[in-house]
Amino acid sequence: MDDFREKLKDRFLKYVSFNTMSDPELVGKRRPTTAGQEEALLYIKKELEGMGLSTYLGSEWVLLATLEGNSEMRKISFMAHVDVSSDVCGNNVKAIVHKYDGGNITLPSGEEICDEELAKYVGSEIITSDGSTLLGGDDKAGCAILVTAAEILSQRDRLSHPTITFIFTPDEETGSGLLFFPSSLMDSSVCYTFDGGKENVVEIECFNAATVEIALKGHTVHLGDARGKMKSALLAACKIAASIPDSESPAASDGHYGYYAPLEMEGNAESALLRVFVRDFDEEKLKERVSFLSSLATGISRISQVELKFSVSYMYKNMLEVNRKDPLVLESLSAAALSRGITLEYSPIRGGTDGARIAELYGIPSPNIFTGSYAFHSLAEWVSLSAMTASFEYLLSLVEFWSK
Ligand SMILES: [Zn+2]
C-alpha cells in the first residue's frame, strides 16, 4: 500500500492548493459560493474521467462519478466535500510535510500544535499548514481518499465489485451543499461520507438541529420624556439571552447532551433580533427545547411590553434511525474493521453532515467515516498520512463487504 500512500499524499497536497473556502454570505446568491470550488470540482471530474468513470456535473455543482460494477450486487456510494470552512482563513494554504519525531509541532507562523493524538504517529508523516491558514483536511482528505480508491478500483475486474458512485459536494460548511442535488441519479443503497476525523472513529448519529429567531419590536420616545413610556426591544432581547441556562450551552455540554447557543443578536431599542441555535440528539427533546425558548421569550416580552415574533426552522435530523434501518449497513462497518484488524470507536457527531441530509431526504443510510484529520477549522489543523491511508484501506474493505 506504500504506493497508494504516496498517491494519497500527492493528491491531498494538490487539493489543498485550491482556494475552496466557502462563503456563508453568498448562500442563495452564488452556487457554489466561491469559484475555487468550481475549479476543484472540474479538476477532480477530469481525474475521474481519466480513470474511465462516467461523470455528471450539472447546475447543482455536485459531482457524481460512477464506476460500473457487477449488477448483481447492491449499488453503494461514497461522499466527500470540496469546500473548506471560513472559520479561519482557508485560502492560499501552504502545506508542510513533517517527518514527525515527537513533541509539539511549531509552525512557521508561531502557531503550536499540541495534541495528545500526535503521539500515535511518531516516525510517520504529518501534514500541516504554515499556521497562517487552516489545512483543509476537512474534507480534502476525504476527497483524496475517494479519488485514490476510484483509481485502484477502476483497475480491477468490473464484475468483482458493485457499481460505485463517488460524490463530491460544494458548500458543506455553509450548510447549503445539498440544497440542490441531482436526486434522480441517487440510487445507492448506502452512502458513506468520508468526512470524519480521528483514526478508527465512525459516526452513525448526529444532532437534530433547529434555528430559533426571536424578533422583538419595542417603542421609543425622546429619552427626556421616556419615563414609563419607553419599551426597549434590545433590553428584552438581552434579558432573554441572559435567561438561557449557561449549563445548557455548547461550552458546558458534551457527549449525547444537547444545547442552546445564542449566537447572534442585533438591533436597538426599536427592534431587535436574537438568533439561537438549538441542538439535541433526541427529536422530542429538541422540540421541548424550542418550546422552552418560546415560553421564555413570551414571558419576557410580556413583562417588557414589547411585541414578539417567534420563528423556528429545522435544519437537519439525527441520521441514527435511518442508519439503523438496514442491519447490513451496520454490519458492513464492523466487518470492514474486523478484516483490517482494527477496533472501531462509535462517536456521536455534535453537528451534522451532508450524510445526515442524504439520510433525511432519501432515506439512505449514511454513516460518517474517519479520514485521519484533526483539529478541524483551525490554524492548528493536521493530517496523519498513516491514518489517512488507514481510512483509504477501510474504504476498500467496505467495498469488499458489498462485493460478496
Ligand atoms: Zn467536513
Which amino acid is present at 110? G
Q: Extract the C-alpha cell encoding 237.
A: 432581547
The rounded Å distance from CA 143 to ligand 1 centre is: 11
What confidence tens digit (pLDDT) does each residue in 140-178 have? Answer: 999 999 999 999 999 999 999 999 999 999 999 998 888
For the chain, the domains span 2-205+318-402, 208-315
> 2: pLDDT confidence band, cut at 50, 70 and 90?
low
Class of 2-205+318-402 in CATH = alpha beta
- Side-by-side strand order, sheet with 125-128: 96-99, 125-128, 382-384, 373-374
The rounded Å distance from CA 376 to ligand 1 centre is: 8
Does domain 208-315 match CATH 3.60.20.10?
Answer: no
The rounded Å distance from CA 50 to ligand 1 centre is: 26
pTM for this predicted structure: 0.89
What confidence tens digit (pLDDT) does each residue in 91-115 have? Answer: 999 999 999 999 999 999 999 999 9
Q: List, by residue number, the catalytic residues.
A: 83, 172
Beta strands in 236-297 (DSSP E): 259-267, 271-280
**Cα 57 → chain centroid:** 21
What gap in Å lies between CA 180 and CA 193, rounded to an integer? 17
Give ion ligand 1 contacts, CB < 5 A.
138-139, 195
